[in-house]
Structure 1
Amino acid sequence: MLARGCSVREAGNHICSHAEQMAEGVLCSLVTVDRSGHLHPLAGPTISEEYSAALDGIAIGPGVGSCGTAAFLGQPIAVENIFTDPYWLPYRALADILAREHEVMACWSSPILQSDGRVLGAFGFYYKENRGPTEEERMIVAECVDLCSLVLEREEMKAENQRLAYFDILTGLGNRANFIRTVEERAKNNPDPFGILLIDIDHLGQINDAFGHTTGDRLILEAAHAITRNIGPEKSFRVDADEFAVLIDNDPSDLATVCTSILEAMAERNLQENSHTLRLSASCGGAICDPSHPSGVPSYLQHANLALHHAKQTARGSFVLYSDELTGAMTERFRVLQTVTNALIEERIEPYYQPIVRLDTKEIVGLEALCRVRTADGQVLSAGMFAEALQDASLGHQLTNLMLKQVARDMRSWRDRDIPLSYVSVNVSMADFDQGDLRARISQIFSQEKVPPEQVVVEVTETVYMDERDSKVGQTIEGMRADGLLVALDDFGTGYASLTHLLNFPVDIVKIDKSFVDRMSGGPGEVIIRALLGMASGLGVRMVAEGVETTDQALRLQRLGCGFAQGYLFGRPADRDTTTEILRRQAQQRSA
């Protein structure tokens, strides 16, 4: 029957009917025991529905009738008088139903065991006279119990497979497949709009790295509790390692309010890990779904994903609702990523060099290598035009790797031509530090070209210093400086703790952000730059002013005591050949 696709209830009823035919005058029932230890009637075609309903949900235990006791003790229990036996005294109402509906006076129940010994249920014989089982009935029940064990164990495995396929093991919530199925059923069966929320735990990967996955799991459970407390478990799902989904079935226009409640509930669930307080926060994206729209469920999920991605990129820790404008932004991001990916494959990535000069002599002392992408039609894209690609961990790593190799080759070429140059600076991002091998990569690439480490400057933006993973950044920077490399802090002054950064992570060069240079004339920029120069002098750090575009700016900086600068006034970024010619002419003028 099971092989033909019959249900477990049909199979159980067939076993009970077969037993009743073989044991004349006997009524038969089959009950299951769930994992929490409660009875549930499964089969017994001749047993009244009233009795089955009254039995459903009773916890097994010693003295819980015949079936409850047999299941609890794991051994057969024969009760010859259900009205006087101590096992049945608390359940006189059940005995009355049996007597009234079936004239039953006695009950014999046998446990049904799984192969590992766990009790799956109980198989009961009900008698209309005060007696226990005969030897023949014992043989009949032994065969029936074996069959029931096969049936229930198969059903248990089926239920477990169902649980693994549709439920998250850690939280017990529905998984991604369950969520998609639920959304599909909702869209199919109800024409009214509904809402979807996607909730992503912020920085879970970093917490796992720092404190271990056990701590990360505790944080996931706290997030699940916060969500289900507001939504309930039926409409809450864990769809990825750090991502939850919520189905809002009542008023989809209220997504922002619901999300705010969830995020506030999360904020209340901080964890203490040794001396650290781990704050639970999340970003959330939402979409309103209209089943009457032909786009369908895949489109709903894509919209919610786009909103979540936008929240993580621009409003981390808050909620973003999908709008059509987000699709355009994501399409553009994909186009940029494809452009950069193709350029990497076709080797159309190249460094452009911008001079760094001494303000007193206008002599070029260094170069900053800036990444450029040459498109298939020959157009040159600056880094600002493919900034999204630099945020992608894989692409950012590949771009930096290629830039380092090309800069090392160019520096080797200039050294071979006896073109003097103090240093070339290269930019690195957080993606490079995340790889864990930045120090080794830089050392290997430049040593292969026999470029002295003291002629290489690694530029790190202040936002990288501000990242909460700064211990990794700091250790890598200390290692690179120990190797002889110089380190520059780029865009100085645009963050929120610049002075603290200089205390925690010593650098060799500080680059004053262009925004201060622009506001020197008649503004506070000059006051700030004067203070920064005094600080740099005290720390023994070289200061370079960025974005110098006018002679007036250069003169003001020189008067303030700034020794070095870069900007359009001294030269725009140029390719290797143009830069080589500029350096060659300067060398000739110097020798003349």
Structure 2
Amino acid sequence: MTATPNPHILVVDDDPLTRMMATEALREGGFATSEAEDGVRALAAFEALHPDLVLLDVMMPGLTGFEVCRRVRATPAGELVPIIMLTGLDDSESVEQAFDAGATDFISKPINWTLLRFRIRYVLRSAQLLKELVRNKESLSSAQRIARLGSWEWFVPADEVQRSAQYYRLFGQQVDTFGEGMDSLVAHVYGPDRPMVGAALAGARKGVGYQLTYRVVWPDGSVRTLLETAERTSDSDDPQALLMEGSVQDITEQVEAQRRIRQLAYFDPLTGLPNREFFRESLLSAAARCLRNDSRCAVMVVDIDRFARINDSLGPERGDQVLQVIGHRLRERMGDRTPAEPAGGGGLPRLKVARLAADEFGILVSDAGSVEDVLATAHELLQVVQAPIHVPGQDITLSARVGVAVMPDHATEAEAILKAAETALNRAKRVTRESVALFSEEMKVAAFLRFTLEGDLRRAIGEEELQVLYQPIVDVARKAIVKAEALVRWPHLARGSVPPPEFISLAEETGMIVPLTRAVMERVCNDIAELGSALPPDFRISINLSGVNFMDAQLIPTVRAVLDGAGVPASRIEFELTETVLMRDLDYATVILAQLREMGIRVAVDDFGTGYSSLAYLRRLAVNTLKIDRSFVGELDDGQGVAIVKAVIGLAHSLGLEVVAEGVETAAQLEALRQQGCNLIQGYLFARPMSIRALAQSLACASVTLPESPAPAED
């Protein structure tokens, strides 16, 4: 199947920013696009343009996305066109309503624009397969209309059979090669189906009709599927007058269509392997069998190390080829491997392989032997993945990790055993010397260790063990540091430096993020007060607020108390929040941001472009700054992401907002941002997070030197 070049996507959304972001992202992905701002225009555009796919917002004034979807489906041209619905709603009722309206897929906001492109390619590929299935059904209907049916009449007492010419064609035979009598049919039937056909004929000799589906083998070795119906036509009860009549229809195309529909639902289209849903159902059956028979089964999860680098360096097409090779190897190993059998025998284990995620494969071993045998199987499968892969002009050698769990040793339920294997895989990823990890009590103890870390964090907050560092934000037009972001670090007394994502996520889960953030606010305000007049008049320090902080009813009183306690004006502070946090409760966010603005505190939207990116909420909320996410900045080196960065900068300027690019590490990124009019820069190209003393020294310099090359990479 050849994909349509530059598929045409109709983007329907009443929010102009969402349409702009979607259009730019799709154009970068090689798609042609058209836009419609409401349901009425969408229907007109669909009728005029006949797009290959519709990206349709649910909540629109006038006609909703559900109604537009229903009307498109009601047209002849819209029966098979894929429709992906977008919405900020995440309730199951909305999802069901979308599919009831005829939606092909359903995506909740915030939207990951990069993944959206891949999702659309997958949906287009599935739509093409569906069109082929429809064509196959139409071909079958045409065949029936021209009487692609064979018929026969059998006088049972004399075993005399009269067959139509078309009957013989359905078997790929001629009259003189088929054979005499009714039993000659059996010789042409596929071996495993012969007993079934023989039993039906035996019943027919007694006047019993039947409807039977069986397979036949043509002289060229191909296998066809036939549907045969027989009934008694003679009225007499005399066995010597028994007459049977029947018809035979070739239903191979129907059977193949059903197989392909199942293929779409339960198999990965890229590798041909079962998908996660198929694997889950197989695991449910295996778990029930284990408990019923007091046997064992094992689950392995195989993850390819740093697979993204294949796509980044060689392109997605090569990446797909590599995944296909790995899937083929695992599938082959499934059938022809002979692992060491447990003492006393036990036969070959039954293996099932599935593609669980982009670069993750699942292995189900039913009737598993000992743990040692299971681990030996895991190491052999690991070698399969690690063998060199030859693609045109390139030999690729991959490494991988395997997580293993055994039932009932580690769990007695299907979901639990899969989770245990994934937990073991995470351990294998963290411990570089282990390529294969077996789920163990040690991993169960990890929960206790996390509990211990929770106590240490509570102590660290109370004893002011946490440190606050500052990363400057530079105005390249003025060649001056105009702001800084406060970043918290934890030099653990026993463990050393704890990565921020680890202890921040722990703090959010346990509620300690509230006292932690207050401690950061107090440290920042005390540092500002200590620097006093050394700070430029308009200098501000930004502090990150998590969703837990923002939803805390004591946020505003806490901020007032901290500012008053340090004697620091609110104009020195800026809070950074992500789009996701702001969009959890837009009404609540509007009220809180208005109160912060009345106090004189500014607000920045962090990681802008990765979430909702909606013009509507930006107009409604009292925000001052947009921070371009580092993922978009990182794409500027090779010319990618320019459209989205340009769109964000243009939006910020049009709304009178500051725009800051974070994660700037190369001179090329800096130059691209300057060309688009972004002058506020944050990143290692200028400075790493530093102490308040180092920040004071940097502020004392007359101007900032614009670097021509990135700072050395961090160890």
Instruction: Classify the TM-score, shorter chain.
Output: 0.3 to 0.5
After TM superposition, the score normalised by the length of structure 2 is 0.37
After TM superposition, the score normalised by the length of structure 1 is 0.44
